[in-house]
Amino acid sequence: MVPSLFAMNEERVLALAGLFQATSLAQQLANQGRCDEAAFETSVDSVFRIDADSVVGVYGRTSALRLGLRTLIAQLEDSSSDMAVTRMAITVMRLERTLARHGNLRNDLQQGLLAAQRQIDHFGRYSPQVIGRLAALYVSTLSTLKPRVMVTGNPQMLRQEAIVERVRTSLLAAVRSAVLWRQVGGRQWQLLLHRKQCAMLARGLLTGSTLDNG
């Protein structure tokens, strides 16, 4: 049975949390030069889990999306929250729509991920070498499309190549979550029409993940 487009559900909220987690990480890195490492690893993992059986499977477990769920709730409920993350997430959604029209770039992305996967055995999944490969893949594919995702932050941080590579890797993960969001029936207008329902579901998922992990 195909889920209705006229409602939010937990799968869509989880994919949305994955998107907001990745954009939040990009913003943390751009501003501070560091980020929530466990959340960053979850986002990197999601890039490689193309054939997961479920939305939760893409991220490993719901508790791995706590940062994304908290960020999503804040953006939906707090009018004074930093809107940079939301603007970035909306731009990523639009970028995903552009990517869907470019089959050649989707193929390039797939091949690039396979190449990065091969590096994991030698260097480790979160090594600078693999992160650098993922960042370069973002530059050669997604950054050639419009709209461009603009990340603002501390110029001192954004002059450091290692930090920029982690920002780009986070954006690659954000696009992966945007693809997933679309696959499970997510649409941008749902955020406008179902803000309260989305926030309620996100709070439930966040509470459940906290109870499950103590």
d(CA 134, CA 67): 22
Coil, strand or helix: which one is 117?
helix
**What is the H or E stretch that residue 8 is in?**
none
- Tokens for 39, please give them: 């959340």
Q: Which residue has the higher pLDDT, 211 or 94?
A: 94
pLDDT > 90 fraction of the chain, expressed in percent and rounded: 85
**What is the H or E stretch that residue 30 is in?**
helix 10-32
Question: pTM score > 0.75 for this model?
Answer: yes
**pLDDT 10s digits, 79-133:** 767 789 999 999 999 999 999 999 999 999 999 999 999 999 999 999 999 999 9
The secondary structure of 69-104 as a DSSP string is HHHHHHHHH-TTS-THHHHHHHHHHHHHHHHHT-HH
**pLDDT 10s digits, 33-87:** 999 999 999 999 999 998 899 999 999 999 999 999 999 999 998 876 778 999 9
d(CA 31, CA 23): 12
Superfamily of domain 10-213: HflD-like (1.10.3890.10)
**pLDDT 10s digits, 162-182:** 999 999 999 999 999 999 999
Structure confidence at residue 4 as a pLDDT band (50, 70, 90)? low
Rounded to 5°, the CA angle 204-39-206 comes to 5
